[in-house]
């Protein structure tokens, strides 16, 4: 009884025969088969994958939006630099804490500048040095004013945050890029918190241990009892201290 050869076996035998006779055709056939298999595994019609690639199209910024980014980059840097100087001058924790936050703010703007290919005016600049002449003068004036007393330093902090909020409000109203808007709104929320912190220092309405340095209650540090003087920080100090 004669048995039939399976179709698959016949096709394999035929392919081997072709490969032996015409090697170039065999190679081409294998390439086409592999390419088709890759397309099928990718799950797309034809040979193109329909899977989302996760890439986003970046819409170029207007000149006004670019100017806003460069200005805010230096303005946030100014806030950081002033607070670092005043923290060293008066030893107050509020300046140390907020200066760290301002560093994150200016870094966030730097990320946007890089994303949109805008030159960074703060790149390579030392603390207290700015490309914008108005900001340079403002930095000098604020450091001088804040160095007079701790009370004046807190007023400087309040002025910086009020200015930042006003400038951010202007930029938010003129910006359409969603990623830029998200950063601006985050920075504004931070400035609102910073402003509240400085207002508490100015009014003396800070919690135990929150204020440190000259002019706060009984003096520097967290002592065993609350000082009986009312200073700019209102912190905890040695018993019987006097506000400056």
**Closest to 162 in 3D by CA, of 182, 188, 141:** 188
Kindly indicate the confidence band of residue 230, based on its pLDDT and cuts at 50, 70 and 90. Answer: very low
Question: Residues 6 or more apart from 192 whose CB is under 8 A from it?
Answer: 161, 165
- What Cα–Cα distance (Å) separates residue 52 from each residue in 36, 44, 46, 47, 81? 20, 11, 16, 15, 43
Judged against a pLDDT cut of 50, whether residue 225 lies above it is answered with: no
Work out the burial of residue 125: count CB atoms within 10 Å of its CB; fewer than 13 is exposed, 13-18 middle, 19 or more buried: middle
Q: pLDDT for 74-131, tens place per residue?
A: 999 999 999 999 999 999 999 999 999 999 999 999 999 999 999 999 999 999 999 9
Contact in structure between 166 and 133 (CB atoms under 8 Å): no
Higher pLDDT, 18 or 137: 137
Contact in structure between 132 and 74 (CB atoms under 8 Å): yes
Residues for the chain: how many in total?
A: 244
pLDDT score at 46: 35
Contact in structure between 72 and 168 (CB atoms under 8 Å): yes
Work out the burial of residue 224: count CB atoms within 10 Å of its CB; fewer than 13 is exposed, 13-18 middle, 19 or more buried: exposed
**Mean pLDDT within 165-177:** 96
Please tell me the pTM assigned to this model.
Answer: 0.63
Please give the structure tokens belonging to residue 104.
């994150």
């Amino acid at each position: 009884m004669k048995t039939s050869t399976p179709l698959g076996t016949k096709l394999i035998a035929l392919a081997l025969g072709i490969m032996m006779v015409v090697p170039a055709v065999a190679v081409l056939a294998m390439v086409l088969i592999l390419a088709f298999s890759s397309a099928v595994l990718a799950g797309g019609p034809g040979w193109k994958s329909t899977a989302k690639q996760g890439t986003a199209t970046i819409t170029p910024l207007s000149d006004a939006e670019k100017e806003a980014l460069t200005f805010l980059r230096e303005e946030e840097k100014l806030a950081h630099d002033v607070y670092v100087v005043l923290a060293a001058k008066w030893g107050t924790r509020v300046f140390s804490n907020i200066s760290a936050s301002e560093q994150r703010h200016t870094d966030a703007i730097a990320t946007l500048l890089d994303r949109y290919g805008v030159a960074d005016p703060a790149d390579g600049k030392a603390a207290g040095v700015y490309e914008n002449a108005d900001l340079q003068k403002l930095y000098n004036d604020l450091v001088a004013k804040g160095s007079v007393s701790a009370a004046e330093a807190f007023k400087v902090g309040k002025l910086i945050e009020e200015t930042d909020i006003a400038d951010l409000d202007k930029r938010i109203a003129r910006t359409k890029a969603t990623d830029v808007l998200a950063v601006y709104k985050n920075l504004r929320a931070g400035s609102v918190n910073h402003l509240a912190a400085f207002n508490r220092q100015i009014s003396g309405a800070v919690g135990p241990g929150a204020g440190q340095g000259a002019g706060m209650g009984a003096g520097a540090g967290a002592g065993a009892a609350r000082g009986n003087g009312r200073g700019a920080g209102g912190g905890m100090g040695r018993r019987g201290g006097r506000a400056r």
